[in-house]
Amino acid sequence: MALDERRVAAALDANAGAIEAYLDDDSDRIARYRDAIERLPTEWTSAEIRAALDEHSYPGAVPTPAFDESESLIVPHRASDAFDHHEDVNAWAREVLQDVPVLAVDGSQLPPTTQFSVPLAYVQSAWALNYHRPEGRLDRDIEGRLLTPDAITRESDEGDYRFVDSQLVGHARFEHEGCVLVDRIAALAAARDAGELDRPPVAIYDGPLIASFANPLAPETRDRYLETLSRVIAASEYHEVPLVGYVADSSATELVKMVRLLEPDRFADDRVVPDAHVLADLTSPWGDRTIPFVSKRDGSVDALETTYRGEAYAFEDDICFSYLDVPPGSALDRIEFPGWLCRADGPAGYETMFEYTVAVVRAEAGVGRGYPEILQQADSDAVLDGADRQQFQRLVGRWAESNDVPLEWTAKARSKELRRR
C-alpha cells in the first residue's frame, strides 16, 4: 500500500511545535559548544588539557603539538579568498596536484548465488592512480576474488548444519580492499625509491581509519576489520606513503566530548552533537581545516596494532583527525590519518607531510566538486550491479557444464531461466 501523504502531512502539522523546539534547543546547544571550542587555544595549553583528561580512558580527543602553536582551531585556506567561480578552484587545484601521484581503492561485491546447489560469491577491488602529469596519465585496474562455500557459510550454534551468511561477503570485501591498498602503497614506495615519481604520492581511503563501526560485531569479525585497517596504516608508516581516511559529512563527536569533559558544569546535561555541526559556522566559504587532534574515541583505536614486514606497530595514541570544509553543502568532511604525517618533514613549500597531504586532498575534493575526484574514479570502476550479477551466474553455470562439475540449478532458478529463453 502506498504512503498516505495526507496523513503524513497532518502528523507533521500536529508535531510542528515539538520539531521547532528541538531545532531551537539544538541551535542554542551548538552555540555553547562553539563558544567553548573557540576559547580553547586562549584558555588552555595542550599539557593542561591532557592533565585534565588524564583520568578518562576515552575523552574523545587530545591535542597534538600544533595546538600550542595556534590561536584558533581553524586554519584558513587563504587562496580561496580569490575564488569567484569553480574554474578558479580548478586552476588552483591543478597547480597543487601537478605531478602528484594520488591513489584510491574501492570495492564492490556480488552476494551469494541462490540459483545453484552450491553458494558462491565474488568481491572485487578497483584501484586508480592519477599521476596528474600535464600529458595525462591515469593507471587503473580491477582485482577480484571468488568466495567459495567455506568463506561464506558458517555452522549453526548446535553445529549440526551450515548456512549461508551474506554478511561474510562484506567482511571479505573489506579485507580484499585492504590487501589491494597495501599492495599499491608498497608499489608506490618502490616507484618513488626508484626515482620514478616527481613528488611524494598520497593514498586516499574511502572511509574511516577508526573502526568504531565494528564494535558491535562478534569478536572474530571485529578483529578482521581491525587487522585490515592496522595493516593499511602500518604500510603507510613503513613505506612513508601518506594515507588519509576520508569521511564525507562526518557525524563524529570527539571534540564535543572533549569540551564536555573540560567544562563538566556547563555541559553536564547537554546531549552530544556532531563536531562538524559545531565547527561549520567557524569556517570561511571554502577550504578551511581544523588543526589536527589525536583521537581517543573508544577501544577500537587502542586495538589498532599489527606486525608488518617484521616490525610491530601500535596506534592507540597515533591516529589523528582534522575537519575540512569543501562545499557544496554546509557539512564538514573529516580526514583521519596516522600521526607520523605530523612528525615528518614535508616536501618543498610544506612544513610537514600532514600539510602537504591536506593540500592534496583539498585539491582533489575541489576538482571533484566537494568529494575527491580519485575516489569517484575508483568507485565508478569497482561497482557491480544487477547485470554483473546475472553475468556472474551465467559464467558459473557455463563453467560447471564445460568442466562436468555437478553444480545443479535450483528448481526455481531453472524455471526462471527456461521462461526467459
pLDDT tens for 40-58 read: 999 999 999 999 999 999 9
Does residue 364 lie within any of the structural domains? yes
Q: How far apart are CA 128 and CA 259, in angstroms?
A: 40
CA dist 395 to 117, 188, 388, 399, Å?
15, 34, 10, 6
pLDDT given for residue 417 in this prediction:
44
Residue 328 covered by a domain: yes
pTM for the whole structure: 0.90
pLDDT confidence band for 62 (50 / 70 / 90):
very high
Which grid coordinates are listed for 288?
A: 578551511
Q: Where are the alpha helices (DSSP H) in 44-166?
A: 46-53, 86-97, 149-152
Whole-Å CA distances, 289 to 78, 79, 218, 282, 329: 11, 13, 36, 10, 15
Crossing angle of the two packed helices 167-193 and 219-239, in degrees rounded to 10: 10
pLDDT digits (tens, 9 = 90+) for 316-375: 999 999 999 998 877 799 999 999 999 999 999 999 999 999 999 999 999 999 999 999
β 243-247/202-206 pair status: parallel
Q: Check pLDDT > 50 for residue 415.
A: no
Q: Is position 407 within any domain?
A: no
Task: Reduce the DSSP state of residue 304 to 3 states and report it.
Answer: coil
Mean pLDDT of 298-313: 97
As a whole number of angstroms, the distance between CA 421 and CA 416 comes to 9
The mean pLDDT of 99-116, rounded to a whole number, is 92
Instruction: Identify each DSSP E strand in 74-221 by its residue range.
Output: 74-75, 102-110, 121-130, 138-147, 153-155, 162-164, 202-206
Is the pLDDT reported for residue 312 higher than 80? yes
Is residue 85 assigned to a domain?
A: yes
Residue 189 φ then ψ, to 5°: -65, -40
205-to-42, 68, 338 alpha-carbon distances in Å: 34, 29, 12
Query: Is 392 domain-assigned?
Result: no
Q: Is 31 left (phi over 0), alpha (psi -120 to 50) or beta?
A: alpha
> How sure is the predictor about 12, in pLDDT bands with cuts at 50, 70 and 90?
confident
Q: Please report whether residue 128 resides in a domain.
A: yes
Task: Tell me the average pLDDT across 227-241.
Answer: 98
Q: Which domain holds residue 36?
A: 16-384
Q: Domain for residue 416, yes or no?
A: no
Residue 414: inside a domain, yes or no?
A: no
Domain count, the chain: 1
Is 90 exceeded by the pLDDT of residue 310? yes
pLDDT for 170 equals: 94
Q: How far is CA 114 from CA 18, 187, 356, 393, 407, in A?
A: 47, 38, 49, 9, 12
Q: Which of 186, 392, 220, 154 is nearest to 309 (CA)?
A: 186
Residue 159 has pLDDT above 80, yes or no: no
Q: Residue 84: what pLDDT? A: 85
User: Which residues, in sequence order, are CB contacts of 381 under 8 Å at separation 6+?
Assistant: 106, 126, 128, 140, 142
Cβ atoms within 10 Å, residue 258: 25
φ/ψ of residue 366, rounded to 5: -65, -45
Q: Which residue has the higher pLDDT, 162 or 336?
A: 336
